[in-house]
Amino acid sequence: MYGDDPSPERGDVVTDSQAPDSPPHLSTAELFAAAEAEVRDDDPEWHWTHLVALHERATPEVFRTAWALAGDADPRRRELGVRVMREVGRDDPATADLRRGNWPVLLDLLDRETHPDVLPWVVSAVGYNEVPGALPAVLRLAGHPDAEVRFRVAASIPSLVDPAAPEEAAIAALWVLAEDDDEEVRGYARYGLAEELRRSRAGRS
């Protein structure tokens, strides 16, 4: 059991959140195992229950496990580690120090990851974590042959630029991506350009 919650007595109605195999009642190791199964299944209709539960369990153990998975030889396990780092503790200011621990792990992956199922998640996680110093490496992927990677680049650039003085190379990359063959890439790039225009006008007002 977790915390001080009492075990249900015989005859009690057991809700989904009280069931022994529900996320709140699983150990961190069990949650990771169940989330790995979700990643391997990759079913678009899946609810990603256990992966989301890991995002909400922003403990040092979860972070350390995700960091370790990032170095795994199995690309699906690397993907799991990256997808946990992408969002774990994102909305909790108390986890800021732990999220900063994601930065060197993600920067390392950004330089060496090549697997087509993992690289897009790395770029996305870098953007979600607003990793300092990552912009040049992300911009180098703007011409990647995989549209999913280019999409993640377009989506991440606005989170990585200096809001007070957006880097010229980032704006140039967004202009190129705004004419991409892929509709979703174009859409996110144009949204990014619109955001930078809005910021520029706000700064002059």
Q: 204 pLDDT band (50/70/90 cuts)?
A: low
The answer on pLDDT for 44 being more than 80 is no
The CATH topology of domain 133-205 is Leucine-rich Repeat Variant (1.25.10)
Task: Quote the pLDDT of residue 137.
Answer: 98
Q: What are the backbone angles phi and psi of residue 171, rounded to the nearest 5°?
A: -65, -40
Report pLDDT digits (tens) over 20-32.
456 878 999 999 9
Q: What are the backbone angles phi and psi of residue 167, rounded to the nearest 5°?
A: -65, 135
The residue type at 90: R
Q: 3 pLDDT band (50/70/90 cuts)?
A: very low
* Strand spans (E) along 59-147: none
- pTM of this prediction? 0.85
Any idea where the domains of the chain sit in the sequence? 15-106, 133-205
> 192: helix, coil or strand?
helix
Task: Quote the pLDDT of residue 23.
Answer: 80
Burial class (CB in 10 A: 0-12, 13-18, 19+), 151: buried
> 164: helix, coil or strand?
coil
175, 178, 180, 186: CA torsion to nearest 10: 160
Residues of the chain above pLDDT 90, percent: 77
Cα dist. 176→121, 127, 182, 187 in Å? 22, 19, 12, 12
**Mean pLDDT for the chain?**
87
Q: Taking the CB of residue 198, how many other CB atoms lie within 10 A of it?
A: 10
Cβ partners under 8 Å of residue 37, min gap 6: 50
Q: 16 pLDDT band (50/70/90 cuts)?
A: very low
